[in-house]
């Protein structure tokens, strides 16, 4: 049994053509509507969402120029910018085809048509329509989410000299299309910088798409970033645009780019260089136009030296670098940030706390904040919940105590990568190199542990 799909509107002043097309398409299509005059097109478009419009190019006013068809194409696209219009005419030539495509038509079919070719054209047009609607829906949802997340600068604030330098760089770079690499420890606000760059760019009316590369498995990388066709693999039950395609005309933020394996780095580099992607299961490439912003907490230059990161990819993504300072290097911003987060959580939890006491602020100023601004934010939220007086006091903050010298977990650095590496080495020694036991003790999967061991050259 043939699965019927799509809603089609056929507009032609020849009743025989309407009958023949309806007879041909009926077994494959869930709804077919015919009109022998284009005058009622606006009425029908308002009452039904058609996947494809088969439009005659010449009606009674003009027999051969096709101008009447062009005029109706403009009116259709004005009503529905995502409309998929296929011209059908007996007087087609290359010049008219080129003009039709430039004006927004999807395809061009000549009378008399070949049945198989016309069915293939209609099928492809239905897929295109659904892809456009899906992409448009994702863009709309992303804009709504971005609007909420981008409320004036949110947590990206600071008055220290280090942050003023960051703000100055953002102001200089935002209006350009230069690729930006944001470097900084976890919790320093790399995505906030990316959003600030997008918000102040010439693409700010388009979407901001964020992708955490650290959470995408190697098997799903191409599908997630480049999209896939229906049936491309077992779970590909329908076609799906990738993040590059969805972000086209807007900004694509690739977080944790330092976690990509070399084979995936190669695929990413190819897409960036060619400015095109090919969906999994497809043969035809799709042009992309994105402003690329990448971020990582890894030392990419060190990874390049160790042949773990492609130097040519690094050159592609770091036209401009922005270094975000850790919170311990901008301690003057701690009171400002603390009070900012306090206002947010006072509203959320509806508590009557008046503020943070001077002694509590002093405690915050003397803490090293290994988790940076993100850790400070969570600390303020917990303290407010625990507070039982008018002011948040030092005892309301539960901060990790400094490591005592001589203990097994003493570290000479605040660099999180070095700390993680030291812990992995220690646990592997304790388990005599048994990967399964070490992974269980670290709360990781074997795959995750292997990935970290490769990252640190263990």
* For residue 31, pLDDT beyond 70: yes
Write down the pLDDT at residue 293.
Answer: 97
Q: Among candidates 36, 286, 5, which has minimal Cα distance to 129?
A: 5
Q: Does residue 448 belong to any structural domain of this protein?
A: yes
* For residue 271, pLDDT beyond 90: yes
Q: Does residue 139 belong to any structural domain of this protein?
A: no
* Cβ neighbours, 10 Å, residue 176: 14
Say if CB 90 and CB 110 are below 8 A apart: yes
Q: Does residue 409 belong to any structural domain of this protein?
A: no
Mark which of 81, 107, 132 sits at the end of a domain: 132
Which helix or strand (DSSP H or E) is residue 139 part of? Answer: helix 115-149
Measured between its terminal Cα atoms, the distance across the chain in Å is 58
Q: Is 261 exposed, middle or buried (0-12, 13-18, 19+ CB in 10 A)?
A: middle
Residue 109 or 417, more confident: 109
Summarize pLDDT for 229-250 with one digit per residue, the tens.
888 887 777 888 999 999 999 9
Same domain, 101 and 185: no
> CATH number, domain at 436?
1.10.10
* Enclosing domain of residue 443: 416-455
Which residues sit opposite 7 in a β-bridge? 31
Q: Does residue 404 belong to any structural domain of this protein?
A: no
* Cβ neighbours, 10 Å, residue 376: 23
Which residues sit opposite 210 in a β-bridge? 253
Say if CB 370 and CB 400 are below 8 A apart: yes
Say if CB 73 and CB 54 are below 8 A apart: no
For the segment 334-344, the average pLDDT, to the nearest whole number, is 94
For the segment 290-319, the average pLDDT, to the nearest whole number, is 95
Instruction: Using pLDDT thresholds of 50, 70 and 90, give the confidence band for residue 152.
Output: very low
* Cβ neighbours, 10 Å, residue 356: 25
Instruction: Report the SS3 class of residue 35.
Output: strand
Mark which of 272, 299, 323 sits at the end of a domain: 323
Same domain, 222 and 311: yes
- Give φ, ψ of 429 to 5 degrees: -65, -45
Same domain, 85 and 171: no
Which residues sit opposite 185 in a β-bridge? none
Residue 303 or 234, more confident: 303
Calculate the alpha carbon distances from 214 to 179, 255, 267, 296 in Å. Answer: 20, 8, 16, 10
Q: Does residue 160 belong to any structural domain of this protein?
A: no
Q: Does residue 146 belong to any structural domain of this protein?
A: no
> CATH number, domain at 125?
3.40.50.2300
Instruction: Report the SS3 class of residue 90.
Output: coil
Q: Does residue 67 belong to any structural domain of this protein?
A: yes
Sign of the Cα torsion 396, 400, 406, 412 reads negative
> CATH number, domain at 339?
1.10.8.60
Mark which of 347, 366, 396 sits at the end of a domain: 396
Same domain, 174 and 293: yes
If you search the block for the tokens 């990874």, which residue do you land on? Answer: 303
* For residue 301, pLDDT beyond 90: yes
Same domain, 120 and 174: no
Same domain, 435 and 300: no
Of all residues in the chain, the percent with pLDDT exceeding 90 is 52
Same domain, 312 and 355: no
* For residue 356, pLDDT beyond 70: yes
Summarize pLDDT for 401-443 with one digit per residue, the tens.
654 444 445 555 556 777 888 888 888 888 777 888 888 788 7
Same domain, 172 and 267: yes
Calculate the alpha carbon distances from 178 to 135, 172, 293, 312, 315 in Å. Answer: 25, 11, 9, 16, 12
What's the total number of domains in the chain? 4
User: pLDDT averaged over the chain?
Assistant: 86
Say if CB 248 and CB 235 are below 8 A apart: no
Residue 406 or 105, more confident: 105
Same domain, 232 and 279: yes
> CATH number, domain at 201?
3.40.50.300
Q: Does residue 154 belong to any structural domain of this protein?
A: no
Same domain, 345 and 286: no
Residue 61 or 170, more confident: 170
Distance between CA atoms of residues 394 and 379, nearest Å? 11
pTM: predicted TM-score of the whole model, two decimal places:
0.60
For the segment 135-151, the average pLDDT, to the nearest whole number, is 62
Q: Is 172 exposed, middle or buried (0-12, 13-18, 19+ CB in 10 A)?
A: exposed
Burial 208-235 (b: 16+ CB within 10 A, else e): bbbbebeebeeeebbbbbbbbbeebeee
Same domain, 198 and 73: no
- Estimate the share of the chain in helix, then strand, then coil, as percent rounded to the nearest 5: 50, 15, 35
Instruction: Report the SS3 class of residue 387.
Output: coil
Candidate from 112-116, 233-237, 312-316, 353-357 with smallest mean pLDDT: 233-237
* Cβ neighbours, 10 Å, residue 413: 9
Pairing of strands 180-183, 240-241: unpaired
Same domain, 333 and 318: no
For the segment 361-385, the average pLDDT, to the nearest whole number, is 93
């Amino acid at each position: 049994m043939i699965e019927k799909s799509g809603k089609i509107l056929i507009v032609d002043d020849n009743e025989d053509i309407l009958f023949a097309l309806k007879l041909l398409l009926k077994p494959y299509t869930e709804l077919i509507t015919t009109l022998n005059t284009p005058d009622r097109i606006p009425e029908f478009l308002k009452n039904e969402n058609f996947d494809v419009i088969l439009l005659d190019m010449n009606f009674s006013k003009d027999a051969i120029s096709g101008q009447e068809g062009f005029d109706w194409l403009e009116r259709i696209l004005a009503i529905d910018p995502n409309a998929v219009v296929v011209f059908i005419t007996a007087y087609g030539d290359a010049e008219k085809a080129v003009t039709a495509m430039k004006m927004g038509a999807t395809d061009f079919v000549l009378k008399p048509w070949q049945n198989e070719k016309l069915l293939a054209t209609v099928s492809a047009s239905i897929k295109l329509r659904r892809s456009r609607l899906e992409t448009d829906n994702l863009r709309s949802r992303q804009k709504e989410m971005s609007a909420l997340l981008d409320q004036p600068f949110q947590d990206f604030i600071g008055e220290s000299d280090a942050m003023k330098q960051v703000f100055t760089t953002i102001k200089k770079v935002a209006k350009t299309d230069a690729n930006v690499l944001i470097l900084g420890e976890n919790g320093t606000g790399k995505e906030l910088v990316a959003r600030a760059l997008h918000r102040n760019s010439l693409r700010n009316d388009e979407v901001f798409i964020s992708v955490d590369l650290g959470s995408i498995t190697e098997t799903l990388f191409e599908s997630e970033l480049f999209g896939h066709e229906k049936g491309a693999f077992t779970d590909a039950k329908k076609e799906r645009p990738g993040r590059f395609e969805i972000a086209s005309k807007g900004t694509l933020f690739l977080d944790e780019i330092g976690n990509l394996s070399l084979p995936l780095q190669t695929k990413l580099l190819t897409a960036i260089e060619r400015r095109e992607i090919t969906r999994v299961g497809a043969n035809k490439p799709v042009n992309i136009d994105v402003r690329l912003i990448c971020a990582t907490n890894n030392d990419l230059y060190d990874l390049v030296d160790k042949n773990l990161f492609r130097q040519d990819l690094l050159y592609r993504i770091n036209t401009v670098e922005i270094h975000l300072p850790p919170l311990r290097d901008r301690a003057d911003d701690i009171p400002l940030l603390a009070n900012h987060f306090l206002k947010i959580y006072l509203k959320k939890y509806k508590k009557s706390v008046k503020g943070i006491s001077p002694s509590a602020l002093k405690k915050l100023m003397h803490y090293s904040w290994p988790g940076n601004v993100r850790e400070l934010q969570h600390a303020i939220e917990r303290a407010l919940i625990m507070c039982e007086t008018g002011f948040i006091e030092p005892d309301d903050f539960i901060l990790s105590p400094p490591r005592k010298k001589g203990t097994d977990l003493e570290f000479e650095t605040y660099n999180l990568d070095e700390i993680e590496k030291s812990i992995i080495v220690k646990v592997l020694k304790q388990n005599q190199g048994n990967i399964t036991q070490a992974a269980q003790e670290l709360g990781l999967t074997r795959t995750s542990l292997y990935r970290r061991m490769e990252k640190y050259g263990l």
